Amino acid sequence: MRLYSNEIVFRGHPDKVCDQISDALLDEYLKGDKNSRCGIETCGGKGIIFITGEVTSNTYVDVEKTVKKVLKDIGYSTNYTIINNIGLQSNDIALGTNNKVMGAGDQGMMFGYACSDNEYYLPTSMVILQELSYEYSKLVKKDSRFKPDGKAQITGYYENNKITKIKTVTISYQNTELERSETDKIIKDIATRICKKYNLEIEEFLINPTGKFALGGFDADAGLTGRKIVVDNYHSFSTVGGGAFSGKDPTKVDRSAAYKARLIAVDYLKKYNLKWCEVQISYAIGIRKPLSISIISDIGEMKVDKKLYKECEPRNIIKDLDLLNKCYYDTAKYGHFNYLNN
């Protein structure tokens, strides 16, 4: 038996707000021009939200309006100074990613993962935290005592890579601090109910361990797109390639190939009745064909079907997964591989 922990951040966490802003802007560009090339970065803090990165598109997007819409949806004030510093994508990159060539939008390695823990093929403690984050977002909208910022963590007992019991649920949530005993009970009850669905007992809670969490969001901390890549992937239960997702159009294999790798992992898990499966795909910028595809599992190294190399070319991934018509804003809310959009 071993102890292992995993974490999620709520939608109002500054880093996650930046992810959602970047993806909401991406959605707007793709709505107006499916051939938009985007690499949008958001940084926020101390009353200022700074939008930068590269966009090449034939459509106009009202950046300030989109940013304020996201802030309002999450539950924050829209009274921020918004600076638009978006520039054009480098022509050097465009040479290898135009519609004729459609090579990979970057070099690097991407990972996909699946396990047999539950119907979502995701680690159970990961799903629990995603459900908790989703329920917390609902609380923020209906109960003014709960504020958007926060994060949660599970420390569990594991046997044979399966969680058997939860030692500690740690939740730090922003609130008015006016009725803490009542608001603490509400969030504990929600967490307990979710864990019971998976027959998991909780030994203890740590709620706002510092004692107080009234000031949050960009007023208390800074945020940056892509700083929560472990939350966005598999909570450290799988290898992370290192590339962020949000703000990137699907020619960027950091995003699209990671989505494809996840589907391959699920397919292999089902086909070969595996306990877990991890897929790695690697690319060179401007080249269509992957440099390598590796698949490992609980029974060892798996044989790679040669047709996967063709399927994993960026053009084919985008078409097969319909990635030009996806709502990326939704993927940025609770992690890109979650029980809601599984």
Give the DSSP per-residue string, 23-81: HHHHHHHHHH-TT-EEEEEEEEETTEEEEEEEEE-SS---HHHHHHHHHHHHT-----E
Nearest to 9 by CA among 155, 149, 194: 149
pLDDT at residue 11, rounded to an integer: 97
54: annotated active-site residue: yes
Q: What percent of the chain has pLDDT over 70?
A: 96
- Under CATH, which number does the domain 16-97 receive? 3.30.300.10
13: annotated active-site residue: yes
Kindly report, as residue ranges, where domains of CATH 3.30.300.10 are found in the chain. Answer: 2-9+124-216, 16-97, 108-118+235-334
In the structure, what pLDDT confidence band is assigned to residue 122 with cuts at 50, 70 and 90? very high
The mean pLDDT of 177-188, rounded to a whole number, is 96
* Listed range (16-20, 87-91, 95-99, 253-257) with the worst mean pLDDT: 95-99
In the structure, what pLDDT confidence band is assigned to residue 94 with cuts at 50, 70 and 90? low
Residue 37, number of CB atoms within 10 A of its CB = 22
31: annotated active-site residue: no
In the structure, what pLDDT confidence band is assigned to residue 102 with cuts at 50, 70 and 90? confident
Residue among 151, 262, 326, 333 flagged as catalytic:
151
- Under CATH, which number does the domain 2-9+124-216 receive? 3.30.300.10
pLDDT at residue 90, rounded to an integer: 63
Nearest to 40 by CA among 226, 243, 248: 248
In the structure, what pLDDT confidence band is assigned to residue 101 with cuts at 50, 70 and 90? low
151: annotated active-site residue: yes
Residue among 10, 111, 146, 213 flagged as catalytic:
213
- Under CATH, which number does the domain 108-118+235-334 receive? 3.30.300.10
The mean pLDDT of 124-129, rounded to a whole number, is 97
Model-level pTM greater than 0.85? yes
252: annotated active-site residue: yes
Residue among 7, 10, 11, 13 flagged as catalytic:
13
pLDDT at 96 over 70: no
pLDDT at residue 97, rounded to an integer: 61
205: annotated active-site residue: no
Nearest to 217 by CA among 82, 72, 15: 15
228: annotated active-site residue: yes
pLDDT at residue 339, rounded to an integer: 75
pLDDT at residue 309, rounded to an integer: 97
In the β-sheet with 276-283, what is the strand arrangement from edge to edge?
108-115, 276-283, 292-297, 300-301
pLDDT at residue 308, rounded to an integer: 97
What is the DSSP-derived secondary structure letter of residue 248?
A: B
Question: Per-residue pLDDT tens for 195-227?
Answer: 999 999 999 999 999 999 999 999 999 999 999
In the structure, what pLDDT confidence band is assigned to residue 45 with cuts at 50, 70 and 90? very high
313: annotated active-site residue: no
336: annotated active-site residue: no
Q: What is the mean pLDDT of the chain?
A: 94
254: annotated active-site residue: yes
Nearest to 192 by CA among 203, 181, 180, 183: 203
Question: Per-residue pLDDT tens for 235-287?
Answer: 999 999 989 999 999 999 999 999 999 999 999 999 999 999 999 999 999 89
Residue 82, number of CB atoms within 10 A of its CB = 19
